[in-house]
Amino acid sequence: MTHRRVPALASEGKSVTIVSPSPNGVVSRLADEAENRQVDGAVVFLGVTAPMIEAGKLTPEETAYLFREARTHLRDVIAIAESRGERLGVVPDPVDDDEDEDDDEG
C-alpha cells in the first residue's frame, strides 16, 4: 500500500492522505491530475495578471484581491512541491531565522 499526501483537496484547504495499492494506480493518477490542475491554474493566473499589474492601473481593492489569489496559488504550489519531495525522500533544510539576523548585523 502506498500512502500519499495530497494538498488542498479537503474542503478546508488542508492536505489529505490517500492510500493506494499502487503508486501508479487510479487514485494516484487522479491525485496527479488534481495537482497538475492546481499548478496549471497558478500558471494561468500569472499569465493573466502580469499585464494587469504591469499596467499599474489596479485599484487597492483589485490589488488586494489579486494578492489573496496569488497567496492561494503559492500555498497550493508549495504544498505540491512538499508532497512530491516527500515521495522522493527529499527532506528540506529547516529555515534558521537566527542565521539571517547574523548576516544583517554584519
- The string of pLDDT tens digits covering residues 15-58 is 778 777 777 888 888 888 888 999 999 999 999 999 999 999 99
Q: What is the percent of the chain with per-residue pLDDT over 90, rounded to a whole number?
A: 36
Lowest mean pLDDT among 7-21, 58-72, 88-102: 88-102
Total tally of structural domains belonging to the chain: 1
Does some domain include residue 104? no
Segments forming the whole domain that contains residue 10? 2-90
Q: How many residues in the chain?
A: 106
Does some domain include residue 38? yes
The three cell numbers locating residue 25: 494506480
How is residue 18 annotated by DSSP?
Answer: E
Does some domain include residue 106? no
Residue 22 CA to residue 24 CA, distance in Å, equals: 5
Residue 65 CA to residue 61 CA, distance in Å, equals: 6
pLDDT at 106: 46
Does some domain include residue 100? no
Does some domain include residue 95? no
Q: Which residue has the cell 528540506?
A: 92
Does some domain include residue 42? yes
pLDDT at 94: 63
